[in-house]
Amino acid sequence: MHHIKSNLVGFITFVLIIVELTIGFGILAIANVPRAIFPFKSLKIRLSKISNSIGEYTVYGLKIIMRVMHRDFMKVFDYNEFNKNTWYMAVSNHQSWADIFILLVAAHKRIPLLKFFMKKELAWIPFIFLANKTLNMPFVNRHSKKAIEKNPDLRFKDYENTLKACKRFQRSPSTIFSYAEGTRRSYKKSGHDKSVGTKAKQSKPVHMEKRVHDKCVETRAKQSKLVHMVSR
């Protein structure tokens, strides 16, 4: 019975999230139509701030869904004084597809909107494509070892994309986010046994730690911070 209830709650949550993202990104798409018609820098800066605000409201909707469907499923321990009007870098471990939504909710109203580095292979998904076009979330390429050996210049492609994204981030305060592991953690990849896997499935608090960061590529280095978010 509990298994059936859990699956039902998960399914309803998934449907509500899809509806919420459809509304949020639909509004983002409409708001950014002028960007394609009038390529003025001042307009892009203004639309960037508007897009971030729409993104924040969309995340707030996700937070409501999480609270209604899962109640107090997550505890955030945050002893820092973050500034919403500055730039940050954030990293986290990666365990499941739900991490993105959990991190967005955990960071909401604490730091500027998270801007994820996304795999270019997922550009066919409407939400991800629109996140790239309206929120300036950069794509990263996953070139095979064989492709890089054939064309060594491919290894610099992500670096160039990162530079372009950081220049766009200067338009308004943002939090550049990356999964340092580069992939979802799995028991096979980590080599841990089943007992560790069982513990990983349990809901754990999210710890947020602020550290001064020396550089943010092409982005207000003196104001940049590093936010380390860990699910333990």
* Average predicted confidence (pLDDT) for the chain: 76
The residue among 201 and 57 whose pLDDT is bigger is: 57
Residues 168-198: pLDDT tens digits? 888 888 888 887 765 555 555 555 544 444 4
Q: Provide the pLDDT for residue 27.
A: 93
Question: Residue 211: pLDDT above 50?
Answer: no
The answer for residues whose C-beta is within 8 angstroms of residue 28's C-beta and 6 or more apart is 51, 54, 55, 58, 130, 134, 135
Position 56: which residue type? E
d(CA 211, CA 183): 24
Residues 106-146: pLDDT tens digits? 888 888 889 888 888 888 888 888 888 888 888 877 777 78
Q: Provide the pLDDT for residue 199.
A: 42
Q: How many CB atoms lie within 10 A of CB 172?
A: 20
Q: Provide the pLDDT for residue 17.
A: 92
Question: Residue 50: pLDDT above 80?
Answer: yes
Q: What is the DSSP letter of 162?
A: H
Structure tokens at 57: 């409201």
Question: Residue 58: pLDDT above 50?
Answer: yes
For the chain, the domains span: 2-231
Question: Residue 60: pLDDT above 90?
Answer: yes
d(CA 61, CA 99): 16
* Residue whose token pair is 């795999």: 119
Instruction: Tell me the angle at which helices 2-31 and 126-134 cross, rounded to the nearest 10 degrees.
Output: 40
* Residue whose token pair is 């064309």: 151
d(CA 68, CA 70): 6
d(CA 176, CA 116): 6
d(CA 136, CA 160): 14
**pTM across the whole model:** 0.71
Instruction: Tell me the angle at which helices 41-70 and 2-31 cross, rounded to the nearest 10 degrees.
Output: 160
Residues 22-37: pLDDT tens digits? 999 999 999 999 988 8
Q: Provide the pLDDT for residue 186.
A: 55
Q: Provide the pLDDT for residue 19.
A: 94
Structure tokens at 22: 């459809």
CA-to-CA separations, 176 to 14, 88, 153, 160, 166, in angstroms, rounded: 26, 6, 25, 15, 8
Question: Residue 59: pLDDT above 90?
Answer: yes
Q: Provide the pLDDT for residue 210.
A: 43
Q: Provide the pLDDT for residue 131.
A: 87
Per the document, the length of the chain is: 232
The residue among 139 and 15 whose pLDDT is bigger is: 15
Q: Provide the pLDDT for residue 212.
A: 34
Structure tokens at 94: 């990666």
Q: Summarize the confidence of residues 90-119 as an average pLDDT.
A: 85
Q: Provide the pLDDT for residue 31.
A: 92
3-state secondary structure of 115: strand
